[in-house]
A and B are shown apart, each in its own frame.
Chain A
């Protein structure tokens, strides 16, 4: 056991000694120096204090924006942190710093710091290509004082400059056949102080840290070690991203913490021909980067999941283990027919996600088990045609009081496999409506063998309505009536957005006439 560790703070080594294992970075910084004093009044909902973390994910070096209040100190060992203060001081001429000089963006300096940190991450993000992604990048900003159009414009200019840089680098790299590494961000095309330091970062080493109060923090590097630790310390709490655990702050007494971040088996996304194996401690952002291109609904759902700093830390395993009844991801994982792999010293077992949830806030997970990962089947055309399927439609919809960073009303995810026009298999899954995420089995069975057309949809609605019961833990702002309606309307939305060519006659869908007719099917599903 060691009683100290170090991480890089604003380009300099910062040694941490005897600090509590559950102390957040925000409260550490607030005590460290008066220039960080505003980190003291951190609040994840209303005033997050964002910092940029340099990490090595697989073979890719990345800057990730994170919420310093939700980051436990030992998680930082062998990592880099750039505070907005540090970004400003290290390179005052950096495009991000220049973009926010002068002008009126945010009244509060601290919140402008968050904007700077978010832009900083975006500047180095290789996948940030489209204007539309700016909303996604800045979704942690929820204030009445943000000048959103001005921030959008400033950020767009910064991101355009990096795009130019990337194009030029790719052209240069083309000669050596290395352009792929430019697009995926595996080579340093910026060559500035920040990236030079970032690319020096190595893998996280195993850590066994004990703080002043004899609380221990373990970061094993293999699964075997992890299971052994779990056996040795049965009361130990497993932590991956720590976004939900850290909200309790320093009030929780955690004598033994085991971090999953160093375990290689849990930290990778393996792409097979027919499936992806996503490790339990892969962050949601990382998962989206790996599979989102081939599976757009995954990206779509994540865009409305928490905020960017949360997605950067939250992990798939942590999400499942928390059994969040209104979580947006589970319906999609069900629709994708994903399976969860559970592991214990006794061996491995797996279960479909729909069976993983056993009740309100309860799951299949036994105390001695942990989630190893998730297997998501791939549905390329060759795979589908081998099964005699002509097309697979899949989409997910989240309904919430605002676009991002709030408790959703409900989420529905749907997938349909078609042989010509006939449905061979259907997946209809919801969360936020019942007490736990679930599939509408009867409705799925009813749909199987039917034609993918309006008539079948309208016939399905009463069945759908019966098999999804409104639970007790629904969002109080929505009310059971509304949430219950969403069961039908979300499925209808799926149908109308994914019609077979020719299945809907456009003239039938005129605004007023269509609505007056469809409104029965839309809303009044319950008919005596």
Chain B
């Protein structure tokens, strides 16, 4: 009798019984845990081979928007020489196949179903990209595709939303609309925009500490998110994850969420193979590396007086939230919070819904959400102006927020500075010579037949800060070295947009030293616990205030040292509060005695063992936003700007050129940062201009043509406005809440002026009130021409109808 037959054994080894169809979830879990064992989870990195090599991992993406995976087989693929592992969802231990709660339950690798085109289905790990590609071609995954939901309209028709609608209301819009003198309603669609295709989306994950930790090299705008995600994927403490700094110079958009997903996939591959893994996507324009904005459908109803005063607006925004909402709710919030723009509408109701579609969206692009909200309102104003036959700029001005009245707060309760709106508005009107140019353009349009011009003015109010207050904080580390030079460490990703200079200037001013003595280290995620997201927050402002905090504390200590040094020189009458730090000198501001040199003080501090390392921290106080109440104080402050845009349309081809842009905006509080402000302004404006004019994403909806046709319509050098005139105004308001970099995202919204000017130019082509004309976005030449055709057609129909009516007066008479 063998031991195995002994019935008295208190426990049994698991028997590999055939899987029954009625397996319960718990049983399945147990079976998978047993079959997988623990060795795949933490494969020991013992051999030098596995330590030395760098494997390549490639993501197998779903070719369908929506499908059920019927069968997957990797037998053929595994035979390819050099392939180390092929990972499917079932190869991942239970509860580990998830990107985490921020991703709304998105699995790391698709299990039974795929929900967007490009969703990771499998991971192939091999010795190089070529063998991975070969294995990919041999991988057998059978899908049963379903049509899926691809448009917002489709989602609305099926009532597929992510959560309950969010709204925000002032007054009673419904009642006011009923009693309004004139009414208007309509819809409007804002298409998505893709992030720029810069660099590869490669992520490298290297096991360190014998496999107990990981070092991650990725291009990410929020590396802290990557660290958290990798730690979660590997089930290790975050302190065991190292982030390798990688230059992100020149990247200003959409690298927030995408690298997180890829880093988790790479970690999974590294865990399985026990080697360093370089993860890459199979196509350069894969949605996994190219973030995309939220498409938005706007529906509105407006009530107004014949004088153009809008009394009520009911605005409905439907945003494409993709299949996994991720942080789309924030985008929806931003849209709600910016939908009032600069207009104080007494009865204002805004409702926003997040539609569930089979797509992937991202929030990492500048001014995401806010642009959709503000542009929706500008569209309402333009249509009201057309209806009342008043110039659009007059209607805009009539509806501004008013100081001193009840309309001085946004619908959610945060006060608006009406004076600032008027200031930028008047400044840009004056500088651009707006009224005179309207006449000139009319004359020009009468004379010229090949080209027609249009002009428009658009104001902007932009909230600085993030509706998720946890993101509105920054930490810095300031360290004074023995010779008086200063080292500043900041936990913000370096995109080389001039933040260095601004930080240097701030520290130099605070400590009264030369800018050359200051060394700024951005991208520091090892020393500093908190990294500040660049997009969606006033990162610069937060960092500058954190620096002020650190410098204040350092100054306090140095003052004491200085006081002792003065005392040692026999100058005992110096008051500690009066000691100032200017031009490399330390001393009382009004002093008969000679001050100390900064270096002297530092030397003293060094000898006295005074702590010269200081952490600065800033969080904007009292930020809150309750989306259920529709109320809050979500922004640290608003920044205001206005732009006059003049465009020219080629009547024969529909091509468009921006001739001149005049912008009046509130700059950053430092007078020396005008270069940085201007550069930021131009970048954001280009982003908006491309979104509205040329960057078309043509999704091929049929599954047959797999590669997405991503047409690169990013505006080139010659597409930039011929002339740009900017007026940089001093920021008004509380210096403690003025933004550090007001031009980072707000100018994206100013691009709405291009669309408005385009509409103005269409008048020269016969656009009259009463015609129902749509101008789709982005307004590429084919679309402009299609619009012109439509104008011509409707005008002809009208003339025809008028002629018929004239010749036959009985037409359309009741009873005939």
Contacts and interface: CB of A to CB of B under 8 A. Distances in A.
A485 interface: yes
B677 to A, nearest CB: 9
B714 A104 contact: no
Nearest to A38: B247
Contact of B686 (A144, A476, A519, A520): A144
The residue among A105, A145, A518 with the most chain B CB atoms within 10 A of its own CB is A145
Contacts of B450: 493, 496-497
B795 interface: yes
Interface in B760-803: 764-766, 780-782, 785-786, 788-789, 792, 795-796, 799
A103 B675 contact: yes
A139 B686 CA distance: 15
B713 A516 contact: no
B252 A145 contact: yes
Nearest to A519: B792
B40 to A, nearest CB: 34
B497 A107 contact: yes
Contact of B714 (A142, A150, A400): A142
Nearest to B725: A149
A522 B652 contact: yes
A107 B250 contact: yes
Interface in A485-524: 485-486, 489-490, 492-493, 496-497, 506, 509-512, 514-516, 518-520, 522-524
Contacts of B713: 401-402, 406
Contacts of B200: 41
A399 B717 contact: no
Contacts of A106: 250
A104 B668 CA distance: 15
B498 interface: yes
A45 B781 CA distance: 22
A104 B679 contact: yes
Nearest to A304: B718
A477 interface: yes
Nearest to A47: B198
Contacts of A149: 678, 682, 720-721, 724
B651 interface: yes
Contacts of B655: 399-400
Given A104-B676, A104-B678, A401-B711, A135 B686 contact: no
Contacts of B207: none
A150 B675 CA distance: 9
Given A399-B781, A476-B709, A515 B766 contact: yes
B252 A512 contact: no
B172 interface: no
A107 B249 contact: yes
A135 B657 CA distance: 13
A104 B782 contact: no
Contact of B712 (A47, A145, A146, A406): A406
A452 to B, nearest CB: 17
Contacts of B796: 516, 519
Given A41-B200, A402-B716, A403-B719, A108 B250 contact: yes
Contacts of A490: 652-653
A190 interface: no
A479 B786 CA distance: 11
Contacts of A293: none
Given A477-B698, A489-B652, A138 B250 contact: no
Interface string A230-269: 0000000000000000000000000000000000000000
Interface in B317-343: none
Contacts of B683: 107, 144-147
Contacts of B679: 104-105, 147, 150
Interface string A83-126: 00000000000000000001111111111000000000000000
A108 B780 CA distance: 28
Nearest to A410: B653
B199 interface: yes
Nearest to B784: A482
B789 A402 contact: no
A143 interface: yes
B652 A479 contact: no
Contacts of B452: 511
B694 A401 contact: yes
A144 B792 contact: no
A509 B449 contact: yes
A148 B720 contact: yes
Contact of A401 (B686, B720, B724, B780): B780
A270 interface: no
A512 B249 contact: no
Contacts of B712: 45-46, 142, 406
Interface string B179-197: 0000000000000000011
B90 interface: no
B378 interface: no
Given A47-B198, A496-B449, A515-B792, A107 B495 contact: yes
Contact of B196 (A136, A143, A485, A519): A143
B711 A402 contact: no
A41 B653 contact: no
Interface in A127-175: 135-136, 138-151
B687 interface: yes
B653 A397 contact: yes
A257 B503 CA distance: 54
Interface string B798-813: 0100000000000000
Contacts of A142: 712, 714-717
A281 to B, nearest CB: 28
B764 to A, nearest CB: 5
B533 to A, nearest CB: 17
Given A143-B714, A516-B795, A46 B197 contact: yes
A105 B250 CA distance: 11
B445 interface: yes
B682 A148 contact: yes
A110 to B, nearest CB: 8
Contact of B249 (A46, A108, A138): A108
A45 B200 CA distance: 13
Contact of A144 (B253, B676, B795): B253
B690 interface: yes
A511 B445 CA distance: 6
A404 interface: yes
B12 to A, nearest CB: 58
B446 A138 contact: no
Nearest to B202: A41
A14 interface: no
Nearest to A151: B717
B497 A104 contact: yes
Interface string A390-431: 000000010111111110010000000000000000000000
A25 to B, nearest CB: 20
Contacts of B676: 104
A518 B766 CA distance: 12
B792 A477 contact: no
B765 A512 contact: yes
A526 interface: no
A107 B252 contact: yes
Interface string B483-500: 000000000000111100
Given A105-B679, A138-B718, A147-B679, 6 more contacts: A108-B198, A110-B249, A148-B717, A405-B716, A409-B782, A489-B652
Enumerate the 3 nearest inter-chain pairs by beta-carbon distance, A residue then B residue, closest first.
A108-B250, A104-B679, A519-B792
24 contacts: A41-B200, A45-B712, A47-B199, A104-B675, A104-B680, A107-B496, A107-B683, A110-B249, A110-B250, A141-B716, A141-B717, A142-B714, A148-B717, A401-B696, A401-B780, A477-B698, A482-B786, A490-B652, A496-B449, A511-B448, A511-B449, A511-B452, A518-B449, A523-B785
Interface of A: 41, 45-47, 102-111, 135-136, 138-151, 397, 399-406, 409, 476-479, 482, 485-486, 489-490, 492-493, 496-497, 506, 509-512, 514-516, 518-520, 522-524
